[in-house]
Amino acid sequence: MKENTNALALIQPDADELEAKKALYNLVNSAEISLGDCINKTLSIAAAAFTECDVTDRNTGELKRRARVLAIDSDGKTYHTTSAGLVSSFENLATIFGQRHSKYENYVVFQPAVVGTVEKKPTPNGQTYVFKLN
């Protein structure tokens, strides 16, 4: 798995503004790892961005607009998810622990990084994913 060191420009307060913009663009455009593939793995999340995207509904084939979270860990690896449970977890993390970036309102920095585990939880309709702090 490749480390995206450019992504770290977003979490370094003294980073060059152009480097920070490139890092945010690269995070939003090409996050590398699905958080759904990280079940029971401990992650140290340093920052997150909140966006929307279009996804195809598996049952109907329709395009639907979904909330999406993109995250950077302390090593510069980038993650993505549209899981409603994980989006909700990250929104709560942002509210409680995050510091909004001064220029990018949908971007939150966690200092210190939040350390937690992606877990799969059963629900009445199947299952969901959540980020549980360690």
Contact 68, 90 (CB under 8 A): no
Whole-angstrom distance, CA of residue 31 vs CA of residue 14 = 23
User: pTM score > 0.85 for this model?
Assistant: no
User: What does the pLDDT read at residue 2?
Assistant: 44
Neighbours of 125 (CB within 10 A): 6
> Look-up: residue for tokens 């913009």?
21
pLDDT tens track for 20-46: 777 777 778 888 999 999 999 999 999
Q: Kindly tell me if the per-residue pLDDT of 1 is higher than 50.
A: no
User: What does the pLDDT read at residue 105?
Assistant: 77
Q: Kindly tell me if the per-residue pLDDT of 3 is higher than 50.
A: no
| Residue type at position 13 | P
| Residue type at position 62 | E
**Rounded mean pLDDT, 79-96:** 95
pLDDT band at 18 (very low <50, low <70, confident <90, very high): confident
b/e code 27-43 from CB counts within 10 Å (16+ = b): bbeebebebeebeeeeb
Question: What are the boundaries of each domain within the chain?
Answer: 5-133
